[in-house]
Structure 1
Amino acid sequence: MSTDVRAELTAIWQQVFGLDAAEVDTAESFFAIGGTSFQAVQLMTRMEQAFGVKVPLPVIFTEGSVDGLTAAVGDALGTDDDGLLASVEGLSEEEALRLLREHETRATEDRTDT
């Protein structure tokens, strides 16, 4: 999965910084390429859209390369999965089915609202 995350982050990096694929050095830091606060917000927003996880701005500044952000996104995705798994494993079959029905109802309502 990290290869997929890295490839998607590389594409996001290209869009935000206006770079060609050959110009992206996955180890180069956000600051080394002259990243601005506006671009940091763009990265944060696009990563959330692409991966469904929030990567806070300070993480973008501290892990500010494609490689570093790949690890941060992977950690966020793994943490979310672990928490979800722990939550589901603690449910009885009846509770799990009830929650699934509620989720399906909300999803159906969301689709009809748009």
Structure 2
Amino acid sequence: MQPPPANHRPEDLGEPLGPRTDLESELLELWSERVEVRPLGVTDHFFALGGDSLQAVRLVAAAQRRYGVRIDRRRLFASFTVTTMAELLGEVFGRTHDPA
């Protein structure tokens, strides 16, 4: 039996949860440009997907450029998921992260 491809989703992550808001959908797309694991879910932890600290900094920088805001990296890295990133961006934008 051959090993799964390098970009195959680890089984211990379970089924991926899809985006619940437009912001989560946009961020999931941004993550998919930088994370090779497929499929991705909004509650997948960046480091559990094989991401490293340099990739994390680059991803945060890309999100900050895209939205023209600063994200609190300490809070984000405590639980680095698409959902957490969307919540932090929602705080910066002055609205709550409220799933549709």
Same fold (TM over 0.5): yes
5+ residue gaps, structure 1: 80-114
C-alpha RMSD over aligned residues: 1.8
Structure with larger Rg? 1
Distance 1:14 1:54 in 2: 21
Structure 1 runs (4+) greater than 3 angstroms displaced? none
Aligned 8 A contact 1:63 1:72 in 2: no
Greater share of residues in helix: 1
Larger RCO (alpha carbons 8 Å, 6+ apart)? 2
5+ residue gaps, structure 2: 1-19, 96-100
Matched-pair identity in %: 28
Residue 8 of structure 1, CA deviation: 1.2
Q: Describe the superposition over 1:1-46 as per-residue Cα deviations: whole angstroms up to 9, x where unpaired.
A: x8221111101110111345xx111111112112211111111111
* TM norm structure 2: 0.66
* TM norm structure 1: 0.59
